[in-house]
């Protein structure tokens, strides 16, 4: 049962569903579903790394991981549903920090596994694609927090911006930056945001040329 649910294809589908809803969702309940989706993704990857890849996590570390995920999720719920208005920014900061730490650590652990992998299968390639998409997701958390605290850090040229939510714009902007397309409809104006944008673009380019290219090459050699 666990092997079926930790299949990279299943994880990729869940991740893509979360991204799509994050971009097109209009209300808080849809954002809540996005958080649940990403939570499911990160938990499945953690279980996969724990049981199938030389125990990346110790038992103690896995427990800490689950506790952090729970705290981050509860903080997200309190912030997004505005249950404690006076402390909304605090809970949003806690949730964002924990998500960056948890997703970042999970990303690093997965990339470390992929970097040393000598036998590559199609599932390994899919897992590498998921890790690439994770870069965009992690940066979207940061952009969303900045958007909530200082909306003037971004300039939007689209006249329909009032139809969009901050989480729509954050996810869209992050993926556009990751793939270095740069349509120019959203422009970073804050200094820290400009720095973050540069680092995300470089991280995406380096990941594709070093990790994914290496795995595809190994996979091609094993097939031949």
Query: Quick one: which H or E segment has residue 80?
Result: helix 59-80
What whole-number percentage of the chain has pLDDT above 90?
Answer: 46
User: What does the block give as tokens for 134?
Assistant: 């994770």
Would you give the DSSP letter of residue 189?
-
CB 151 within 8 A of CB 193: no
Q: Which pLDDT score is estimated for 2?
A: 59
Residue 17 has pLDDT above 80, yes or no: yes
* Tokens representing residue 41 in the block: 């993704």
Rounded-to-integer distance, Cα 214 and Cα 131, Å: 14
The mean pLDDT value of the chain amounts to 87
For residue 176, name the pLDDT band (cuts at 50, 70, 90).
very high
Give the residue extent of every domain in the chain.
Answer: 2-223
pLDDT band of 18, cuts 50, 70, 90: very high
Q: What is the mean pLDDT of residues 53-66?
A: 69
Residue located via tokens 């979207």: 140
In tens, the pLDDT along 106-152 reads 899 888 888 888 888 888 889 899 999 999 999 999 999 999 999 88
pTM above 0.85? yes
The two tokens of residue 90 are 């605090």
Q: Which residue has the higher pLDDT, 161 or 65?
A: 65
Mean pLDDT value across residues 74-95 = 91
Q: What is the pLDDT of residues 65-81, one digit of tens each?
A: 889 989 999 999 899 88
CA atoms in the 13 A half-sphere facing the CB of 143: 32
Give CA–CA dist 87/66, Å, rounded.
Answer: 24
């Amino acid at each position: 049962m666990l092997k079926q649910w930790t299949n990279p294809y299943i994880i990729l589908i869940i991740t893509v569903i979360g991204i799509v809803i994050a971009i097109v969702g209009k209300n808080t309940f849809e954002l809540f579903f996005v958080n649940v989706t990403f939570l499911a993704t990160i938990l499945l990857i953690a279980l996969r790394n724990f049981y199938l890849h030389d125990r990346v996590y110790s038992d103690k570390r896995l427990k800490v991981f689950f506790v952090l995920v729970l705290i981050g999720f509860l903080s997200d719920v309190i912030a997004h549903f505005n249950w404690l208005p006076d402390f909304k920014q605090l809970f949003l900061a806690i949730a964002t920090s924990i998500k960056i730490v948890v997703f970042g650590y999970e990303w690093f652990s997965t990339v470390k596994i992929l970097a040393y992998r000598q036998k590559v299968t199609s599932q390994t390639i899919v897992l590498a694609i998921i890790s690439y998409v994770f870069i965009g997701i992690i940066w979207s958390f940061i952009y969303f927090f900045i958007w909530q605290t200082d909306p003037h850090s971004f300039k939007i040229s689209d006249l329909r911006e009032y139809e969009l939510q901050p989480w729509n714009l954050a996810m869209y902007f992050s993926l556009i930056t990751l793939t270095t397309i740069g349509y120019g409809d959203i422009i970073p104006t804050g200094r820290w945001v400009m720095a973050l944008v540069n680092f995300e673009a470089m991280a995406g380019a380096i990941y594709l040329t070093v990790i994914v290219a290496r795995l595809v090459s190994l996979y091609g050699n094993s097939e031949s």
